[in-house]
Amino acid sequence: MAAIKTIGILTSGGDAPGMNAAIRAVTRTAIYNKFSVKGIKRGYYGLVYNEIEDFTSRSVSNIIQQGGTILKTARCKEFATPEGRKTAYDNMRAAGIDALVVIGGDGSLTGARIFAEEYDIPIVGLPGTIDNDLGGTDSTIGYDTALNTIVDAVDKIRDTATSHERLFFVEVMGHMAGDLALNGALASGAEAAIIPEMETQIDQLADLVNRGFRKSKNSAIVLVAENPSTGGAMGLAERIKKEFPQYDARVTILGHLQRGGSPTAADRILASRMGAAAITALGDGQRNVMIGVKNGELVYVPFSKATCHAHRVDYADIDLVKILSI
């Protein structure tokens, strides 16, 4: 891999707290190891439209505590086409970039895999997504911060739920994964979590009501993962009105609030370790892999495994939510 002289870095897909910490770690570790660094603005869009600039150590000063991404992020339908990827490759080569570090989620790493296969480019990915839905890693950059944001919001919502004796459905992000809803429920003492992983097995709303959650409590909070299979918070509230009209249900959708804010110490540390490991991986001749973490140790995860949607929740935790909500 001695041929690698310049490394490009980009962030793609939804922003996640800790992306800036990862950018900082990649940049400074690369410079420490005598590589040049190019920052690519707006993800794959920046590759297609040649938004590439030199990065120095100063470029990443005072950003470890900032949410979002200084490199910006954007969708790019052009990159989904062979013609767009050819333009991206030409721009990359013209800028002297020999390898890429891509920070993003499932869609971003899928794009990286295709790009790497088509043009034999060394690419290392970092799992930057609050959803925690990538395979081969116990946690993703941004997940811990989003989880803490959810817990803080639910703690506040509980004051109103208790005062008005209401059932609150709180919708959180997660796409195909229920980690934010399930662990948010555990950490906030919510009465239930409705997640996509369980929807094909039981009617989660009916199970909640049939457990008689109102026998010992005058209010309840249910965390719901946003996903068509769960019906979302609005869909569940409509069901309550029709099927269980005796309950006064309300909905709170946290939305993009979960993506913002200064990253927690855990996310800053994870992003820093992963960012440094990405440069080590490239130096060791690794390609087409994501840096993951398993049992506290950093591991190399092939893109195909990272994006296979194999990540699953701990079913024991689902039972624990029920036990602790009596």
**Could you give the residue numbers annotated as active site?**
131
Q: How is residue 127 annotated by DSSP?
A: E
**Type and span of the H or E element at 151:** helix 143-164
Indicate the pairing of strand 36-40 with strand 52-55. antiparallel
Strand partners for 38: 8, 54
Q: Output the six-digit token pair for 205.
A: 């709303």
**Type and span of the H or E element at 220:** strand 220-225
CB under 8 Å to 9, separation ≥6 — which residues? 23, 26, 27, 37, 38, 39, 40, 55, 71, 100, 101, 102, 103
Angle (CA) 249 254 259, round 5° = 165
Q: Which residues of 30-63 are buried (b: 16+ CB within 10 A; e: fewer)?
A: bbeeebbbbbbbbbbbbbbbebbeebeeebbeeb
Q: Edge-to-edge, what's the strand order for the sheet holding 6-11?
A: 52-55, 36-40, 6-11, 99-104, 123-127, 289-294, 297-302
Helix axes of 179-188 and 143-164: crossing angle, nearest 10 degrees: 50
Q: Is the dihedral of CA 193, 196, 201, 204 positive or negative?
A: positive
CB under 8 Å to 205, separation ≥6 — which residues? 194, 231, 236, 239, 240
CB atoms within 10 A of CB 296: 7
